[in-house]
Amino acid sequence: MAVTRSHSLSIGIVGLPNSGKSTIFNALTHSVVPAENYPFCTIDKNVGVVKIPDERLKRLASHLKAKNVVPAAMTFVDIAGLVKGASKGEGLGNQFLAHIREADAIMYMLRAFKSESVAHVYGEINPVEDLEIVRSELILKDMETLEKKLRELHNKAKAGITDEIKMQVKTLEDVRKAMNDGRPAYEVKLSEEAEKFLWEMWLLTDKPSFYILNVMGGVEEPDLVRWIDSLKGKIADDEENFMMTVDCKMEGEMEGLPESEREELIGMVENYHSVDNIISLAYRRLDLITFYTGNEKEANAWSIARGATVKEAAGVIHSDLEENFVVAEVVNVDKMIEAGGWVAAREKGLIESHGKEYVVQDGDYVNVLVNK
């Protein structure tokens, strides 16, 4: 389903204590929040804005000779560690479940590194079990939400049963069945109508997710292969391409190092993935596309859910542009640059005028005309 919660999309980082959430948050957002080797180091959530790396934007900025270059951004939220019983208030209790609820997608941080000095809350390194522990808590909490809604619907039905109530009860029963098998709500195949109803319940497990295995040299390779294999059985089929190994600690330590030293370190790691790879993975998981605007002062990239209309896209730039939208002039950004600029592109007939229903394409350069 298209992501419609908000324009500024956010990723909640979720995992056991000491799995490396704050470490990767710091590397992603270039900030410094405490990431220490004791559980529940993070109490309040940390929020950081991350720029989406973008080669097309670089080309646009250099074409426009723009002074300011403003990339599209997404928000990462570093959430407190979650333990068994969290849904009942164990650990840091319920407060951070609300932080997860607000996120558009979940990034599960799964510890696959061994370290004598960093305790694992359950003693043993096993990212597959860790995922089950963490996700079960989210499922348990969702079950509570679901049961409450079912009771409400049963009461409502006493005053007269409608097709809508029937659909809603059936949806919740289907989801409850999946959850009883330990599966997240996200996996349940539903009609568009049922999906929309479920979406409005803000369930914790009805979100697209992706999975980071926090690795380092110390992990035996066969272990890793085995873990990745069994993780595939635990997640939705369409999520198998959304799993990645990252050495989170090294990513943090590389910040500020000279390029040559970075390259040397990277050369030593098999299957190296960087924080930029995490950002790209999040971008793909949210199924985003990027469109562009610009002038000689500023070149902007904006991200929006695939399938969004140009009127919605205007609203990402500014709510006034959406409200007073009349028409949008659109050309592919690279085609415009190739043609020699906006004016030349217009002369060549490359610029198309579109009404509000036009579905924005990845790479569109957009000029919104408004009725003032």
Ligand X SMILES: Nc1nc2c(ncn2[C@@H]2O[C@H](COP(=O)(O)OP(=O)(O)OP(=O)(O)O)[C@@H](O)[C@H]2O)c(=O)[nH]1
Binding residues vs ligand X (CB under 6 A)? 15, 17-23, 35-37, 39-42, 80-81, 113, 115, 118, 214, 216, 247-249
Closest contact distance (angstroms) between CB of 107 and ligand X is 12
End-to-end CA separation in angstroms for the chain: 34
**Sheet hosting strand 352-354, strand order edge to edge:** 68-70, 298-305, 288-294, 364-370, 325-332, 352-354
Contact 213, 245 (CB under 8 A): yes
Contact 324, 371 (CB under 8 A): yes
Q: In this structure, is the dihedral angle defined by the CA atoms of residues 54, 284, 257 and 27, taken in order, positive or negative?
A: positive
Considering the complex, state which of residue 81 and residue 208 has its C-beta at the smaller distance from ligand X. 81
Give CA–CA dist 281/274, Å, rounded: 11
Contact 39, 80 (CB under 8 A): no
- Residue 87 interacting with Mg ion (CB under 5 A): no
Closest contact distance (angstroms) between CB of 252 and Mg ion is 12
Residue 29 binds which one of Mg ion, ligand X, none, with CB within 5 to 8 A depending on kind?
A: none
Considering the complex, state which of residue 22 and residue 293 has its C-beta at the smaller distance from Mg ion. 22
Closest contact distance (angstroms) between CB of 180 and ligand X is 28
Give CA–CA dist 54/351, Å, rounded: 23
Considering the complex, state which of residue 20 and residue 208 has its C-beta at the smaller distance from Mg ion. 20
- Residues near Mg ion (CB under 5 A), total: 4
DSSP state at residue 54: -
Q: How many other C-beta atoms can be found within 10 angstroms of the C-beta atom of residue 197?
A: 17
SS3 for 243? strand
Closest contact distance (angstroms) between CB of 145 and ligand X is 24
Residue 76 binds which one of Mg ion, ligand X, none, with CB within 5 to 8 A depending on kind?
A: none
Residue 236 binds which one of Mg ion, ligand X, none, with CB within 5 to 8 A depending on kind?
A: none
Considering the complex, state which of residue 194 and residue 248 has its C-beta at the smaller distance from ligand X. 248
- Residue 19 interacting with Mg ion (CB under 5 A): no
Q: Find how far residue 47's CA is from the centre of its chain.
A: 13
Q: Which residues of 340-362 are buried (b: 16+ CB within 10 A; e: fewer)?
A: eebeebeeeebbeebeeebebee
Considering the complex, state which of residue 103 and residue 288 has its C-beta at the smaller distance from ligand X. 103
- Residue 22 interacting with Mg ion (CB under 5 A): yes
Closest contact distance (angstroms) between CB of 147 and Mg ion is 31
Residue 18 binds which one of ligand X, Mg ion, none, with CB within 5 to 8 A depending on kind?
A: ligand X
Considering the complex, state which of residue 89 and residue 355 has its C-beta at the smaller distance from ligand X. 89
Residue 20 binds which one of Mg ion, ligand X, none, with CB within 5 to 8 A depending on kind?
A: ligand X
Closest contact distance (angstroms) between CB of 344 and Mg ion is 52
Considering the complex, state which of residue 126 and residue 214 has its C-beta at the smaller distance from ligand X. 214
Contact 126, 229 (CB under 8 A): no
- Residue 42 interacting with Mg ion (CB under 5 A): yes
